[in-house]
């Protein structure tokens, strides 16, 4: 259906339709973010032998995040007097928009996909890089030394970890021979890439956690030891936008991991009667759970450990993985 719409001639009706679909999808994402935050707090609570939110919205605290967001939205909008006003306003938008844009290439099931880009994976990685600019802009525009340092630190981290992230994916691309995410899913019909490319999967998982600025790589925020980082001066809905960007990226990154390494909507053998979207959701939830689990377990890395781990461990490993994959593929092809 989407393919036909993309090929259709541009008119007002189609524009309106696209807008409606995007808005509906945004609502789904917001719903995910709401309950991902709740799930995170609940799981972390259970891991720390407490119950987590349980006051607002019944015993399970189902409306806790809704109440939190409502509070953020009605908060006073403060912009520091000496801040760079246009950039300060632009920064949350710059950080959030790419997070939503990257979702367009993710195939959620056989039929539920938005754009079938030939360079889907490249698109994802290129667009997600823009968020770094948003964060750096936020740090700069705040006119606050802590915010600037925090922005620099997170930019350094995100750029450093983007490289192993991309490198680890190249193994998958080599085996598939395509950057199209649909074809990557189709190539995993028999074996998911997690079994063929386990090293790439581990590198990808670690680098994606670092990209998402989550514990143990949450130095840009470091709630318990720093003054917040790049978003110190932000409050109310501008701050909410940074949080939103972070959790939309969680959604996007977990989706991408599912697509690249867990076989997307492909079912486990003999269970093909369950629809693809359910498989996708299950694998997706597993990845999100693993991320929360890691957050609940590991302590934060030091800044120098973080950098040397990215450059001295992950990058060489990823490169070695590419070479090995290429050599093995050539050997198999030649026989």
Binding site for other proteins (CB under 8 A): 43, 46-51, 293-294, 296-298
| Residue with smaller CB distance to other proteins, 43 or 222 | 43
| Residue with smaller CB distance to other proteins, 43 or 72 | 43
| Residue with smaller CB distance to other proteins, 146 or 289 | 289
| Residue with smaller CB distance to other proteins, 51 or 268 | 51
What is the DSSP code (8-state) at residue 10? P
Instruction: Please report how close the Cβ of residue 199 comes to other proteins at its closest, in angstroms.
Output: 14
Instruction: Please report how close the Cβ of residue 51 comes to other proteins at its closest, in angstroms.
Output: 6
Taking a C-beta distance cutoff of 8 angstroms, is the pair 239, 231 a contact? yes
| Residue with smaller CB distance to other proteins, 45 or 275 | 45
Instruction: Please report how close the Cβ of residue 39 comes to other proteins at its closest, in angstroms.
Output: 13
Query: What is the torsional sign of CA 201, 287, 51, 248?
Result: positive
For residue 216, cis peptide bond before it (omega within 30 degrees of 0)? yes
Q: What is the dihedral of CA 65, 157, 298, 309, to 10 degrees?
A: 160
What is the DSSP code (8-state) at residue 311? I
Instruction: Please report how close the Cβ of residue 144 comes to other proteins at its closest, in angstroms.
Output: 35
| Residue with smaller CB distance to other proteins, 180 or 208 | 208
| Residue with smaller CB distance to other proteins, 54 or 235 | 54
Instruction: Please report how close the Cβ of residue 201 comes to other proteins at its closest, in angstroms.
Output: 16
Cα 88-93-95 angle, rounded to 5 deg = 95
SS (H, E, C) 181-249: HHHHHHCCCCCCHHHHCHHHHHHHHHHHHHHCCCCCCCCCCCCCCCCCCCCCCCCHHHHHHHHHHHHHH
* Helix extents (H) in the chain: 2-7, 12-47, 64-73, 85-101, 120-128, 130-141, 145-176, 181-186, 193-196, 198-211, 236-261, 276-297, 303-308, 315-334
Instruction: Please report how close the Cβ of residue 214 comes to other proteins at its closest, in angstroms.
Output: 15
Cβ-based neighbours of 154, under 8 Å, separated by 6 or more: 132, 135, 136, 139, 213, 219, 220, 229, 230
Single out the residue of 32, 211, 187, 246 nearest to residue 129, CA to CA.
211
Instruction: Please report how close the Cβ of residue 297 comes to other proteins at its closest, in angstroms.
Output: 5
Instruction: Please report how close the Cβ of residue 135 comes to other proteins at its closest, in angstroms.
Output: 28
| Residue with smaller CB distance to other proteins, 190 or 297 | 297
Instruction: Please report how close the Cβ of residue 110 comes to other proteins at its closest, in angstroms.
Output: 33
| Residue with smaller CB distance to other proteins, 30 or 294 | 294
Task: Count the neighbouring beta carbons within 10 Å of the beta carbon of residue 278.
Answer: 13
């Amino acid at each position: 259906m989407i393919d036909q719409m993309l090929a259709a001639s541009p008119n007002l009706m189609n524009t309106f339709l696209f807008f409606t679909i995007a808005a509906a999808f945004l609502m789904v994402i917001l719903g995910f973010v709401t309950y991902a935050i709740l799930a995170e707090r609940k799981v972390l609570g259970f891991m720390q032998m407490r119950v987590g939110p349980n006051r607002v919205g019944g015993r399970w605290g189902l409306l806790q995040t809704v109440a939190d967001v409502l509070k953020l939205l009605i908060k006073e909008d403060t912009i520091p007097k000496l801040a760079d006003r246009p950039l300060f306003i632009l920064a949350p938008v710059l950080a959030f928009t790419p997070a939503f844009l990257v979702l367009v290439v993710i195939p959620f099931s056989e039929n539920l996909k938005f754009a079938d880009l030939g360079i889907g994976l490249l698109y994802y990685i290129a667009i997600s890089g823009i968020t770094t600019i948003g964060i750096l802009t936020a740090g700069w525009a705040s006119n606050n030394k802590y915010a600037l340092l925090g922005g620099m630190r997170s930019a350094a981290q995100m750029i450093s970890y983007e490289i192993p992230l991309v490198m680890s994916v190249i193994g998958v691309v080599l085996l598939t021979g395509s950057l199209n995410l649909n074809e990557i899913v189709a190539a995993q019909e028999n074996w998911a890439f997690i079994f063929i490319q386990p090293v790439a999967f581990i590198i990808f998982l670690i680098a994606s956690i670092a990209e998402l600025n989550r514990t143990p790589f949450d130095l840009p925020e470091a709630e318990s030891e720093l003054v917040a980082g790049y978003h110190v001066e932000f409050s109310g809905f501008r701050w909410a936008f940074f949080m939103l960007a972070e959790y939309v990226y969680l959604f996007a990154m977990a989706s991408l991991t599912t697509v690249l390494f867990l076989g997307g909507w492909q079912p486990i053998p003999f269970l093909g009667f369950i629809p693809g979207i359910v498989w996708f959701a299950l694998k997706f939830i597993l990845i999100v759970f693993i991320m929360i689990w890691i957050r609940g377990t590991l302590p934060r890395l030091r800044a120098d450990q973080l950098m040397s781990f990215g450059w001295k461990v992950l990058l060489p490993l990823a490169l070695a993985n590419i070479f090995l994959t290429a050599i093995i593929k050539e050997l198999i092809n030649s026989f």
